[in-house]
Structure 1
């Protein structure tokens, strides 16, 4: 049973989700995605598991979103994914993966559904 969390230690929701996993007796693989962003292929896989389009996983209120012209509706999914890989701050967090499933920990209890 392998569990992975894409984690930002400065984010309260991310810390709460990690604590929730640990309270369940789970020691997840912790990926600090700001330091080690997912690859384009990994992010595409995460999006498929979440059944989301790239823009739905983006933090659209971050200044980098508009500064990089990512509010342009004509951008393709791959262009948006590549932007998130380049600017990982734009990826919504935390993301938990387990056994081919994924969940965003907003609220943290959401991840319980895939455990």
Structure 2
């Protein structure tokens, strides 16, 4: 089952959702701002993405700049920041089984099909 972690207010996230809808495959939408990640879920997503936690952070977000920019944070501290401020999480994230991508651009979705 394909899952898209989606923020409907984000243009790139809406584009990713549209791409998935066009696949004619079953999928589920998780609006992660309304239904936040648990710490374990976020760690699992990062593991599936095969990235460092900082690579999932929207570092140009005002929240990041005002609170975290320039600080030497551990991976756990970065994960805690994303849990506290889910708006910092890059989107959309598309997961299919053990494969995952940050679907920017939307064509990256093909990597998990």
Category of TM-score, reference length = shorter chain: over 0.9
* Structure 1 residue 27 displacement after superposition: 3.4
Structure 2: which 5+ runs fail to align? none
Q: How far apart are the structure 1 equivalents of 2:15 and 2:97?
A: 21
Q: What residue is the counterpart of 1:86 in the other structure?
A: 84
- Structure 1, unaligned runs of 5 or more: none
TM-score of the two chains, using structure 2 as the length reference: 0.94
| Distance verdict in 2 for CA 1:12–1:27, change over 3 Å | farther
User: After the TM superposition, which of the residue ranges 23-32 and 99-108 deviates more from structure 2?
Assistant: 23-32
- Please give the alpha-carbon distance, in whole angstroms, between the structure 1 residues aligned to 2:54 and 2:89: 9
The whole-number CA distance in structure 1 between the counterparts of 2:90 and 2:27 is 18
- Residue aligning to 1:29: 28
Deviates more, 1:27-36 or 1:4-13: 27-36
Counting matched residue pairs gives 113
Report how far residue 70 of structure 1 moved. Answer: 4.8
TM-score, normalised to structure 1, is 0.92
CA shift at 1:68, angstroms? 1.9
Residue 66 of structure 1 deviates from its aligned partner by 2.3
Equivalent of residue 98 in structure 1, options 86, 92, 96: 96
| Deviation by residue 1:38-62 (Cα, 9 ceiling, x = unmatched) | 1111111111111111111100011
